[in-house]
Amino acid sequence: MNKVILMGRLTKDPVYRQPPDDSSVSMARYTLAVDRRTSRNGEQTADFISCVTFGKNADFAEKYLKQGTKVAVTGRIQTGSYTDRNGNKVYTTDVVVEDHEFAESKAG
């Protein structure tokens, strides 16, 4: 089973891509800053998790999610790789978001 549940804040506004034609689905990428439970010497630490979502979830992210928004996401981990312009192999790990929702009120 590949299931991820995270809660964190967006580090910047989502990057949204809408295809020029109707043959593809829209996509949004964003990074979540997720606080760790443990801290070193009382300092708060966080992990920065790359997230990607598609279709209606991407449209929602583009319209409503902004830098600093606290959200809870569920999804799955997906790994991949590509070769960059310099010929180096780059490995990626993303959370493919299946659902995201606000984790605090707008007044918060």
Beta-carbon contacts of residue 22 (< 8 Å; ≥ 6 apart)? none
Q: Tell me: the pLDDT tens digits for 49-91?
A: 999 999 999 999 999 999 999 999 999 999 999 999 999 999 9
CATH code for the structural domain at 4-102? 2.40.50.140
Question: Beta partners for 77?
Answer: 95
* pTM of this structure: 0.85
**What is the 8-class DSSP label of residue 87?**
S
Q: Name the pLDDT band for 39 (thresholds 50, 70, 90).
A: low
Task: Return the domain boundaries, the chain.
Answer: 4-102
DSSP of 54-85: EHHHHHHHHHH--TT-EEEEEEEEEEEEEE-T
> Measured over all CA atoms, what is the biggest interatomic distance in the chain, rounded to whole angstroms?
52
pLDDT at 10 over 70: yes
SS3 28: strand
